[in-house]
Structure 1
Amino acid sequence: MTSEASTLADYGWATFFSTQIHADETDTTLPARVVAVHRDRLHVAAPGIDTSVAPFGDGEQAATVGDWLLLDAHTQRPLRRLDRKSVFKRRAAGTDVRVQLIAANVDTLLVVSSCNADFNVARLERYLALAREAQVTPVVVLTKADLADEPGDYTRAAAKLMPGLVVETLDARDAAGIAPLLAWCGHGQTVALVGSSGVGKSTLTNALAGEHRADTQGIREDDAKGRHTTTGRALHRLPDGGWLIDTPGMRELQLTDVRAGIDEVFDDVAALAQRCRFADCGHDTEPGCAIAAAIASGDIDAARVGRWRKLVAEEARNNESLAQRRARDRAFGHMADRVMAEKRLRRDR
């Protein structure tokens, strides 16, 4: 996986990270990048380092794939995690209110969908909101163009989602077809693939890596959906010197802490909301609602407004759930500290 990388820059090291190294750490620590995350360990690598270490950090501060760790130069034990340029996270699936980290220090997010029944505008907008919140460049990649009668229809629908959005429509099995993506895969650059199961992420991973790195399976004929093949998160070395993070297909993508990203993706709707008569306008039946007026005049698509409203409400709900959990955790910590202090007091009497 890492044999071709011989300098820190080959792994994506940049000034952003080097300025975080304290003077007294230069001789006693070694930076290494998390190249794979497993249930009970992290695989870290750097020039002269290729080893496994125990999981590091808790919750949202835990090290994830793409992170940089400072290791003890003698024991190779992680000492601290460096600040991130970017991080992708989501609320865990189901009823769990924890945050699940996806990847860190990504330069470009390849949002993968396909030219078939899997194409879903609302899902794409969720990924775009994630990317813009993290200040990462999104590129929509539409696969299986060879199976569509009119792949251009999918391209145009995706391009409308955000001003200036780059959309590439291709057949991931064709080596020439992936050429437009290579601009984001240069030396030291990190790209991440996200998308639902079966859209061709594993096929695209293999094509970009130039060799077999991930298992692939065909699509089901009944619903055009694929079978989930990626089960972990890992960095793959690319021929042009970049790194690619593949992520498991996500059946559920619950957004949290991405309000700025939502407003950027839906900048037209967000701008209208600022013109409403009342600051707490619900954008429904309130008088002076600029959004309602724009829908009535046909200046904005009601379905797009509905998707924006849904994401804003979901993000606020998830944030509230997380805030309540954090408050409970803090209260439990204070209670535990108080109990321990009382025990010490009784013991010392």
Structure 2
Amino acid sequence: MPASERPETIDAPDAVDAPLARLGWTPFFEAQLEGFSSSIPDFSAAAQPTRVTAVHRNTLRVIGVDVDLTIPHAFEATVGDWLMLDPQTKTACARLERSSLIKRKAAGRITYTQSIAANIDTVFVVSSCNADFNVARLERYVALAFEADTTPVIILTKADLSDDPDGYVAQAQTISDRVAVLALDVRNTDPSDALAPWVQLGQTIAFLGSSGVGKSTLVNALSGQIKAATQGIRDDDAKGRHTTTHRELHQLPNGCAVLDTPGMRELQLTDAASGIKDVFADLIEIAAQCKFSDCAHQSEPKCAIKAGIADGSVDPARVERWQKLQDEDAHNSEAASQTVAHRKARDKSLGKTIKGLQKGNRKK
């Protein structure tokens, strides 16, 4: 990647506690502490910031300054969240506002939104230079990252095993001119140098991608030790084997926090309209030239998208992927909204029933 495409070096956080900075604490969170004691009932003035590093079925692991505890679930927290911990009760009494939130539609037929991680600065979308590579999947991950208000970077691994790594890079670069693309051979080169502009003190990075593409290998390379288990890919179809079994936040020696995640077999977008627009900004700009503002780019006259396809300036496959993601996101967003509304109505009805029974008992 040309030096001009690299981000400027990120300054270390100022005016924050140094040990907390190594956990990802920034002035954004520091500023939220003011007024907590007066705005939150039963808030302990001695409460201290802790970060959620792992989420289990019934518990959270939180780490802070001289704190490493397992506590009950609270505030619908996800990995990366900052919780204020009451030192006396060893329970969370508040969750800080998030700087970013990565979410998706829960896998399967369930119609609720699943939080993947919070307070992530950079998302490394990882794919391999082999049969795993898929432009449509990469577009989904990049849209997910844009919607979450994070910086996406595409990393292509196993470049040493490919006869044409440059070809994979060229395909990835067509996704968005706002996304840097790196081809890495972690066996023969140190990825720390290539990723250094993003892997810095006070920053939190996340690796997302399919199983077996090298996410855990990159975590281990950055940490200089074995923090995450690794396995190879299957020779017959280049499909990965699941090695990471749950999302977990690790601390790097330089004070950067890194999230390793299991491979996602299914990634469906929800509430990601803005992220999709960011990925397909080129098509949005062309569509603005259509005669009708609500043009579906099918049979409408004077459609700029169809004209671009006809003259070869617009890739019809890209248009199809754009429309598919839009339809999917709209469907999932509406379904999730209806589910939430149904649950609220059910809870309200249940509350009325309970109050009625309590009132009847009092009369008796």
Tell me, yes or no, whether TM beats 0.5: yes
Are the structure 2 counterparts of residues 38 and 23 from structure 1 closer, same or farther at C-alpha, using a change threshold of 3 Å?
closer
Q: Give the match for residue 7 of structure 1.
A: 19
Q: What is the one-letter code of the residue matched to 1:259?
A: A
For residues 210-265 of structure 1, what are the alpha-carbon distances to aligned partners after superposition, in whole Å with 9 as ceiling and x for unaligned? 11111111111111122110101111111221011011100000100110010011
Q: Distance in 2 between matches of 1:176 and 1:197?
A: 21
Are the structure 2 counterparts of residues 68 and 198 from structure 1 closer, same or farther at C-alpha, using a change threshold of 3 Å?
same
Q: Give the match for residue 238 of structure 2.
A: 224
Q: Give the match for residue 42 of structure 1.
A: 60
Q: How many residues align?
A: 341
Q: Give the match for residue 123 of structure 2.
A: 109
Q: Give the match for residue 285 of structure 1.
A: 299
Q: What is the one-letter code of the residue matched to 2:22?
A: D
Percent identity (aligned)? 50
For residues 27-76 of structure 1, what are the alpha-carbon distances to aligned partners after superposition, in whole Å with 9 as ceiling and x for unaligned? 3311100011222211100111111111113xxxx111110001112222
TM-score normalised to structure 1 length: 0.94
Counterpart check, 1:297 vs 2:311: yes
Counterpart check, 1:95 vs 2:109: yes
Q: Distance in 2 between matches of 1:178 and 1:49?
A: 29
Q: Give the match for residue 17 of structure 1.
A: 29
TM-score normalised to structure 2 length: 0.90
Q: Give the match for residue 343 of structure 1.
A: 357
| 1:132-151 alignment, distance < 5 Å | 132-151=146-165
Q: Give the match for residue 14 of structure 2.
A: none
Q: Distance in 2 between matches of 1:33 and 1:111?
A: 23
Q: Give the match for residue 31 of structure 1.
A: 49
Out of 324-333 and 289-298, give the one that drifted further.
Answer: 289-298
Deviation at 1:11, TM superposition (A): 1.0
For residues 65-89 of structure 1, what are the alpha-carbon distances to aligned partners after superposition, in whole Å with 9 as ceiling and x for unaligned? 1100011122221111111000101
Counterpart check, 1:65 vs 2:84: no
Deviation at 1:283, TM superposition (A): 1.4
Counterpart check, 1:212 vs 2:226: yes
Alpha carbons 2:81, 2:119 under 8 Å: kept: yes
| 1:179-328 alignment, distance < 5 Å | 179-328=193-342
SS at match of 1:187: coil
SS at match of 1:324: helix
SS at match of 1:90: strand
Out of 337-346 and 218-227, give the one that drifted further.
Answer: 337-346
SS at match of 1:184: coil
Q: What is the one-letter code of the residue matched to 2:49?
A: P
Are the structure 2 counterparts of residues 6 and 177 from structure 1 closer, same or farther at C-alpha, using a change threshold of 3 Å?
closer
Out of 108-117 and 219-228, give the one that drifted further.
Answer: 219-228
Deviation at 1:6, TM superposition (A): 6.4
Q: Give the match for residue 348 of structure 2.
A: 334
Q: What is the one-letter code of the residue matched to 2:196?
A: L
Picking from 138, 152, 172, the partner of 2:166 is 152
Structure 1 portions without partners, runs of 5+: none
Q: Distance in 2 between matches of 1:164 and 1:101?
A: 25
Q: Give the match for residue 124 of structure 1.
A: 138
